[in-house]
Amino acid sequence: MTRGLLTLTVAVILLGTALSTPVLAEEEADPLDAVFPDGRHLLTLNYTRIDAFDADSDLWVPSYSFAYNRRFRFTAQVPYLKVSRKVPDPLDAGDADSASGFGDVSVLIQYDPGANLSANAFVPTTLGLTLGLQLPTGDFREGLGQDAWVGTLGGGWLVDFFKDSWLIPAVSYTQSFDEGSKDFEVQRADLKVGAFWLFRSAVWLGIEPNAGYDFVLDDWRLDLAFVLGKSWYNGMALEFSWTRLDRIDAFAQRDDQQLFLALSYQFGRPPR
């Protein structure tokens, strides 16, 4: 499995480098300007399927992003999920094999001194200085929430790779606090280095390895995501990704897999 993922990773990098075509004019410096339009508002509907060792989860996540200007962006998400358990959860107070309902709401604020932000679907949520907060609004008794406030502080920046591709390294620290009766605790640090190629047809291809250290479990994990997206001039965009999620708990017998599909629409005047 590891050798296959390594081979696929190298193949994606070689494919992106070989097929990349110049997107920008010589005088343009910002690759994000190549995807149009560049609006102020973004409406997104995400669907995520997680095939885990202990449970399958389906998440429908409507979200809204607002770019106040090129340096500030705000995002809010309200997930609706269905969880089907494969094995009993010793931390879950519920008895049902499956449950559905609204999960934990999350908000995110981004500040980028380099003024690269907009409401474009291509602009990653890890770019700039980021502050995220997850609220315990889901019913933890049914497995729909974490029963804790979770905060994330991070920073990501843009690094030119070639004139039509670039790297977006990002570091973050996540900490839970005010844990409730479920005794849920999160304390981890992550390093993600995304490599992206943007094509003339406003198609993007990416690979995102993420190395993280879990302070609670005292162990490392390595996740790996492959991304494919397409933007249209009418404001619509579509993105698909597949992620291998490293499981480091003692009960899991295999890693998790995640499928992600997002349909988005951006509108409004470009931020300044």
- In this prediction, residue 139 carries a pLDDT of 84
What's phi and psi for 6, nearest 5 deg?
-65, -40
Neighbour-count burial of 29, counting CB atoms closer than 10 A to its CB (0-12 exposed, 13-18 middle, 19+ buried): exposed
User: Under DSSP, is residue 35 helix (H, G, I), strand (E, B) or coil?
Assistant: coil
Which has the higher per-residue pLDDT, 254 or 116? Answer: 116
User: Is residue 212 a part of any domain in this protein?
Assistant: yes
Cα distance between residue 104 and residue 197, in whole Å: 33
Q: What are the tens digits of pLDDT across the range 54-90? A: 678 888 999 999 999 999 999 999 999 888 876 555 5
Q: How many domains, the chain?
A: 1
What's the pLDDT at 8?
52
What confidence tier does 224 reach under pLDDT thresholds 50, 70, 90?
Answer: very high
Q: Residue with structure tokens 């669907």?
A: 47
Q: Is-contact 239 121, C-beta < 8 A?
A: yes
Query: Distance (Å, rounded) from C-alpha 270 to C-alpha 272?
Result: 7
User: Does the residue 167 lie in any domain?
Assistant: yes
Question: Under DSSP, is residue 90 helix (H, G, I), strand (E, B) or coil?
Answer: coil
Look at residue 157 and tell me if it is in a domain.
Answer: yes
What CATH number is given to the structural domain containing 49? 2.40.128.130
Q: What is the dihedral of CA 228, 18, 161, 189, to 10 degrees?
A: 40
- 3-class secondary structure, 48: strand
Burial call 171-206: b when 16+ CB within 10 Å, e when fewer? ebebbbeebeebebebebebebbbbbbbbeebebbb
* Full-model pTM: 0.78
- What is the domain extent for residue 79? 31-267
- Rounded distance between C-alpha atoms, residue 138 and residue 144, angstroms: 5
If you average pLDDT over each of 104-113, 180-189, 195-204, which comes out highest?
104-113
Is residue 248 assigned to a domain? yes
Answer whether residue 110 is part of any domain: yes
Q: How confident is the model over 107-161, as pLDDT tens digits?
A: 999 999 887 788 888 888 998 999 999 999 988 877 788 888 999 999 999 888 7
What's the pLDDT at 21? 40
